[in-house]
Structure 1
Amino acid sequence: MRFSIYCLVLISIFGCQPERKEDVNIQPYIEEIKNEYAPDKRVALFQVEPKEFNGTWVIKGETNLPDAAMELKERLEDNNIKYIDSLQSLPSKELDGKHNALVTISVANLRSNPKHSAELATQATLGTPVKVWKKEGGWFYIQTPDKYLAWVNSGEIFLMSDNELEEWMNRDKIIYTKTYGHAYSEKNTKERVSDLVAGNIIEVVANEPSFYKVRFPDGREAFVPKEEAEPYNQWLDGLEKNTESLVSTSKTLIGVPYLWGGTSTKGMDCSGFTKTIYFLNGVVIPRDASQQVHTGRSIDSVKSFDQLQKGDLLFFGRKATDSTAEKVVHVGMWIGNNEFIHASDRVRISSMDKDADNFDEYNLNRYLRTKRVLNQEDQALINLQRNFTFLSSN
């Protein structure tokens, strides 16, 4: 009798338990969204860390892609997955609407992490408008016109609202065209306000006979010799964007030292060099060689260099095998006569001709392919427009 009662109790306890559903893993949903919206973390932020508590998922992390966040939530809801939304959408509210900025020094060093000792990821030159996503200590997480994400020290940018940036865009500006120079405190003095590099954009306050009086984004005023700069819109209208102008620009940079992460005439890496050539000819191309290789039109992959034209980009690295993917590690630009120009130790000209004094056997052996970027329709390429209007919706 006692045994029968004991059995009935066990049945009542365990028999009434609801059937346990198979554990749900939402990581595949997150990976699908990430692969669709943010396959390259250098240009898109989608960091999601899910945690499960008693059958409910807490979605933590941050993103600057509102469509990606919405898509993830919709997929979870469509699959009847319970979740708590703790995903932070950027820009951060801490910025108080100042989620734009202008670079206010000749060359801003952008880091992979918010500290001076972090790797130099890229650079941005004076007058470059950037998107600001969040702040951490004295650093801001920003995105450049070529979509690159990095950290910049607060002293190197000037924060702006949408309206303030639009007002700046509509003001008269100059572009500095000399490789390197200075802005001075007075017309007839050598007292310097700032150094300047090619591509710097500065607001014009007054147009005087031999100088431009300019204003930096942070309010500093100075004088720039007219022979070293040009009105921005005039420069833009005068761009020829042809093969000869690309070659001419590239040769003005010969001897500039190699700098990992550099994109300015103070120092540049291989892709920073090609990016700078195209920027000074009115075209913004992706930052890294592994990104640039996906732009433009394929021209050659079998060393048929007679098919190339000046301005084409040559890519080098490790070819794909049955077990490893292709890896692009270097880029240069074709300048004709079997030669290409590239940043390697310094900006230099090398040749594919085995009989030439500057023959580059090393890069010939690791050559991968050539792409044509000039005058190509490509969503990854941005043509500069008057007053930087293309930057207002990064």
Structure 2
Amino acid sequence: MINIILALGLVNHVVTALPSIVSERAPAAKQMGYISVSVATLWTTPSKPRPLVDAPALTNPADIDGWLSSMNVSQFLDLTDNSRTQTQALYGAQVGIISEQDGWYEVEAIGQPTPKDAIGYPGWVPTAQVSLDSSYGKLQSTKPFAAINNVATAPLYRDALMRDKYLEISYDTRLPVIAHIGGLIQVAVPGGGSAYLSAKHATVYGSVSKIPYPTGKDLVKAGKLFLGRPYLWGGASGFAFDCSGLTHTLYDAHGITIGRDADAQAGFTGHGTNVAQSDLQAGDLMYYATNISSSSSIYHVTMYIGNDEMIEAYNAGTPIRITPVRFGDNYWGAQRFLTH
């Protein structure tokens, strides 16, 4: 095992690298960029977005709510069946730019480790959704940050009177703090300038290490913020999640980095501790596989919340829900990532 210490802005301090299953490594990033829309979707290739259906997700600003509300179940399923989307990156998040092609950047989403790349999840985003503002990056690395951590999404305003809404941003979005003004937090934004958040929606931390270590109950409380939100293949925001996007984000918001995909989460050897059915505790992750002898065949992850129930982003057409635990033939096992 190798511990990789990240010094790339507002990313959790220590990431436990994936073991020998890492067989693909994306080319090294040539430049850092910063997401300049509420949520940027990382696509498998530039040709994967559907010309009409996915247009709202490709612009700046991106209309994520409009995109999600316009799709029917078959269109949501098509994202899965044709492997169109990979993951998402939040407003202000750092991405490593690997290459550029016809209005698209090939990027890696820093802080979302995967067997494809232990540093960040690879994919393609429109260049219009990425800022190259290096001054913002300096603020990321030197200023305290405001983290959206008690609502699924929150409004960001251009003005201190909160009359001019700029964007709706997601849970776990982190922005450098410029000042506190009454019940407002003035934050820096990618591309220059500033915007304002209600202090009711965010907590300010001096560094990621200052985020309080969570209890299982903390994770459960956070997970319930997203009940009823849509399932989205590759979803990793408060607007919509896939199964592992939900679990990854819940832990990330509490200062703990785990793998982005379900199999990668279970594959963090030395990081998670195997847990027996009889010993499940709130916050434990439960995995399901086509072959229970192999973590590489894991296809689904849920989070145990207590009382023989779990929270999950199950599939297209099924909103995020709480459901009784399942211990069928495809149950691979559970792991605990909380150490105290």
TM-score when normalising by structure 2: 0.73
Unaligned runs of 5+ in 2: 1-18, 51-82, 113-119
5 Å-filtered alignment, 1:1-394, equals: 39-41=22-24, 44-45=25-26, 63-64=27-28, 91=30, 99-115=31-47, 116-117=49-50, 119-144=84-109, 145-146=111-112, 147-160=120-133, 165-177=137-149, 178-233=151-206, 237-295=210-268, 296-300=271-275, 304-319=276-291, 327-344=297-314, 345-352=318-325, 364-375=328-339
% identical aligned pairs: 25
Contact 2:289 2:295 in 1 (8 A): no
Contact 2:177 2:186 in 1 (8 A): yes
Which secondary structure state, in structure 2, belongs to the residue aligned with residue 332 of structure 1?
strand
Determine the C-alpha separation between the residues in 1 that align with 2:156 and 2:136: 24
Shift of 1:216: 1.0
Shift of 1:193: 1.1
- Aligned counterpart, 1:3: none
- Equivalent position amino acid for 2:323 in 1: S
Shift of 1:316: 0.6
Please give the root-mean-square deviation of Cα atoms over the aligned residues, in Å: 2.7
Shift of 1:186: 2.2
Which secondary structure state, in structure 2, belongs to the residue aligned with residue 284 of structure 1?
coil
Contact 1:317 1:368 in 2 (8 A): yes
Determine the C-alpha separation between the residues in 1 that align with 2:96 and 2:20: 18
- Equivalent position amino acid for 2:142 in 1: N
Contact 2:136 2:188 in 1 (8 A): no
Shift of 1:38: 8.3
- Aligned counterpart, 2:13: none
Determine the C-alpha separation between the residues in 2 that align with 1:131 and 1:242: 32
Which secondary structure state, in structure 2, belongs to the residue aligned with residue 316 of structure 1?
strand
Unaligned runs of 5+ in 1: 1-35, 46-62, 65-89, 92-98, 353-359, 377-394
Determine the C-alpha separation between the residues in 2 that align with 1:175 and 1:242: 18
Determine the C-alpha separation between the residues in 2 that align with 1:339 and 1:164: 42
Distance 1:341 1:242, change over 3 A: same
Of stretches 260-269 and 217-226 in structure 1, the one that deviates more from structure 2 is 217-226
Determine the C-alpha separation between the residues in 2 that align with 1:341 and 1:169: 34
Determine the C-alpha separation between the residues in 1 that align with 2:157 and 2:295: 51
Aligned residues: 275
Distance 1:305 1:219, change over 3 A: same
1:246-269 deviation line (CA, Å, top 9, x unaligned): 122112222221111001111000
Kindly indicate which of the two structures has a greater share of residues assigned to helix: 1
Shift of 1:305: 1.8
1:6-64 deviation line (CA, Å, top 9, x unaligned): xxxxxxxxxxxxxxxxxxxxxxxxxxxxxx988443xx22xxxxxxxxxxxxxxxxx43
Contact 1:299 1:308 in 2 (8 A): no
Distance 1:325 1:100, change over 3 A: closer
TM-score when normalising by structure 1: 0.64
Contact 1:257 1:347 in 2 (8 A): yes
Higher relative contact order (Cα pairs below 8 Å, separated by 6+ residues): 2
Which secondary structure state, in structure 1, belongs to the residue aligned with residue 221 of structure 2?
helix
- Aligned counterpart, 1:391: none
1:311-331 deviation line (CA, Å, top 9, x unaligned): 11110121258xx99621110
Contact 1:180 1:195 in 2 (8 A): yes
- Equivalent position amino acid for 1:103 in 2: I
- Equivalent position amino acid for 2:36 in 1: T
Determine the C-alpha separation between the residues in 2 that align with 1:221 and 1:299: 45
Determine the C-alpha separation between the residues in 1 that align with 2:255 and 2:277: 26
Contact 2:229 2:239 in 1 (8 A): yes
